[in-house]
Amino acid sequence: MLNVKNNVFWVGKVDWELRRFHGDEYSTHRGSSYNSFLIKEEKTVLIDTVWKPFAGEFVQNLKNEIDLQEIDYIVVNHGEVDHSGALPELMAQIPDTPIICTQNAVQSLQGQFHQDWNFQTVKTGEKLDLGNGKELIFLEMRLLHWPDSMACYLTGDEILFSNDAFGQHYASEKLYNDQVDQCELMAEAIKYYANILAPFSPLVEKKIKEILALELPVDIIAPSHGIIWRDNPLQIVEKYRGWAASYMENQVVLLYDTMWEGTRIMAENIARGIGASNPEIEVKLLNTARTDKNDVLTEAFRSRAILLGSPTVNRSILMSLAAIIDGMEALRFKGKKAASFGCYGWSGEAVGKLNEMANRAGLELIDDGLRCRWRPDQKEIEDCIKFGEKIGKSLK
Ligand code: FEO
């Protein structure tokens, strides 16, 4: 049990070994944590639990600190199992303890655990008196990122328990943002936003305005994954505002896959052309078959323009590109420009197909694309450089 502030304690689990999350959908190169908090005022409140594999350890650790019967309320900010997974083991020992959550969370918890626990539903603005002059104020966070999501704010200590929002999949033996490597922290925070929260960007902007309008002083933002923001906690809120508003850096990324090197040679020479014509812009090349898909999507999220390259195969494109473009469509990136390229030997449909998929993903095509038959010769290499120069100039 680690002290967060006054009578608030961290009782979660740091998962250093985690490398895949949401099944195999999200890579966690730096592990993660499942943050659970215990508030010990006149009333004792547990906020969220941990993922099921750690349920036994979690409940035993709690028992080492308090008599479980002392827990007056359990707040479930979100029903997804990385936070609710230890509930069955805990509730087996304190079955009548009220579980405070949104109405949607009742559906989620009953659907997953098939238990008729003592649910007490709350809506935005409702409060729970903890004694000692402190209250928990509940804030529905509908669709950030599930329909059941909620946050709660502890008056007096001025702590916002934000659940998934403002989190990072980042394991650390430290608790706070000022104690960790800032580059690693922000890399994990933007990856988390790009891959999990980006589809809900319009709601993020709206929700941040709603929270700021409440004029609640915020000393600490305590998400349910990763480190806790205590040094300038609103810095992550400001980052979210930026990320939610058609975010882009001065970067272009070439996402390509290749069979016999032709499309890779095209990518490298297009990149040369971009760099020569626009020295200010960052240019990155990522082979989508060989790069972690969440890292690819994060780099795409950071970019002003996304160039898509694939050879033609079976009148279509290579599968790794198809998966990434489908991912971008689902994540609903906004304001990105795009162009396509690719080699072919016979029928040559790839560029047309890439254009069609880019359109569907909401990318703005700035060129019809560049095709090259067989392996590029010197003239075609020059054509790639010129194509890159044209793209680079258009991004000035
Ligand atoms: Fe961390 Fe949506 O669960």
Instruction: Look at residue 171 in the predicted model and tell me its pLDDT.
Output: 98
Cα-to-centroid distance, 361 and ligand 1 (Å): 25
- Domains of the chain as residue ranges with CATH: 2-244 (3.60.15.10), 252-391 (3.40.50.360)
Nearest residue (CA) to ligand 1, atom 3 = 80
| Collapsed DSSP state (helix, strand, coil) of residue 130 | strand
Beta strands 159-163 and 150-154: pairing type? Answer: antiparallel
Angle between helices 182-192 and 234-244 (to 10 degrees): 40
82 tagged catalytic: yes
pLDDT score, position 160: 97
| pLDDT in the model for residue 211 | 87
The verdict on whether 29 is a catalytic residue reads no
Residue with the smallest CA separation from ligand 1 atom 2 is 80
| Per-residue model confidence (pLDDT) at position 214 | 87
Residue minimizing CA distance to atom 1 of ligand 1:
164
* Ranges of the chain whose pLDDT falls below 70: none
Protein residues with CB under 6 Å of any ligand 1 atom: 78, 80, 82-83, 145-146, 164, 224-225
For the chain, the distance separating the N- and C-terminal CA atoms, rounded to the nearest angstrom, is 53
CA of 48 to the centre of ligand 1 (A): 11
Annotation marks residue 78 as catalytic: yes
Instruction: Please tell me which residue in 15, 82, 257, 380 is annotated as part of the active site.
Output: 82
Report the SS3 class of residue 347.
coil
**pLDDT computed for residue 212 by the predictor:** 86
22 noted as active-site residue: yes
**Which two structure tokens, joined as six digits, stand for 367?**
């060129």
Angle, helices 293-302 vs 182-192, to 10°: value is 90
- CA angle, corner 315, sides to 373 and 349, nearest 5? 50
Ligand 1 centroid to residue 64 C-alpha, Å? 27
Query: 316 by DSSP, 3-state: which?
Result: strand
145 is catalytic: yes
Return the closest-CA partner of residue 226 out of 167, 277, 162. 167
Write down the catalytic residue from 73, 225, 299, 389: 225
Digit-coded pLDDT (tens) for 191-217: 999 999 999 999 999 999 988 888 899
Nearest C-alpha neighbor of 267 from the set 314, 307, 227: 307
- CA 244 – CA 223 distance, rounded (Å): 18
The atom of ligand 1 lying closest to the CA of 34 is 1
Prior bond to 29 cis, omega within 30?
Answer: no
> Ligand 1 atom closest to Cα of 163?
1
Tens-place pLDDT, residues 279-327: 999 999 999 999 999 999 999 999 999 999 999 999 999 999 999 999 9
